[in-house]
Amino acid sequence: MQTLAHRSLDDGTVSRQEHSHHGCIAGAGARNGAAICAREGAVGLSLVARHGDQLSQVCDDARKLAPKTDIVAIEADVSKPRDIERIVATALAQFKGHLDVLVNNASTIGPSPMPNLLDYPIEDFRGVLDTNLIGPFLLIKNALPAMIERGGSIINVTSDAGQVGYPGWGAYGISKFGLEGMSQTWASELEDTNVRVNWVDPGSMNTAMHRAAEPQEDPTEWANPTDVTDVFVFLASDESKGITGKRFQAQEQWKATLSK
């Protein structure tokens, strides 16, 4: 996702002058999390995922791509407040109190096939909100003290289901509506600090979660996660300083958002 270091959006080359960044990606086990890792240039990077096998593979790939980056694997569940405290504490301990970029990429679709709201089990509903909305809220809240000191970038991953109430998208869509509203509020409350908050809709991507959500669709028509990372690279880099409170669409002409 970002240039935790600083990467040209035109030719993909990395400038080494900004390698003082330390980042945390929650949800690094998904394919789009792995794609984000592939674009990193940070001094330190903590990768968070629920499933240890996926996390191990992502970390191995990230170390091959960025052998000089201090990669920290944290197996944790962002729906659990104690895990969130451990995520932030582990990252800060490893990076000597520094955290410059937080990417809230962790998400769950809920039951599959997705039921209508009338038939939605309450525990599943709560579980989706805990992961997709409460988790990012608590991660931001716990990470902010370290980020405010030096400034930084918070990037929340949303969806078009966070702007349109699609039938059958239930708790997932509602959680993304909440995430977008929360992102706007954090951005407003932090506008007098050096911490910027933006949110990105990556569009339709060929991920396991999307395939579970729409099993009747052809996933080959969806984008490869590695092809939609440029906006994340930009938002995590120093090039995006001063840009906050904006919604970006990764598969659209997202640079036009900068002038709005």
Q: What residues are labeled active site?
A: 172
Helix axes 170-189, 122-129, angle to 10 degrees: 30
CA-closest candidate to residue 99, choices 61, 164, 145: 145
Q: Could you tell me the CA-to-CA distances from 198 to 53, 81, 113, 158 in Å, in that order?
A: 30, 23, 31, 10
CA-closest candidate to residue 171, choices 180, 163, 161, 181: 161
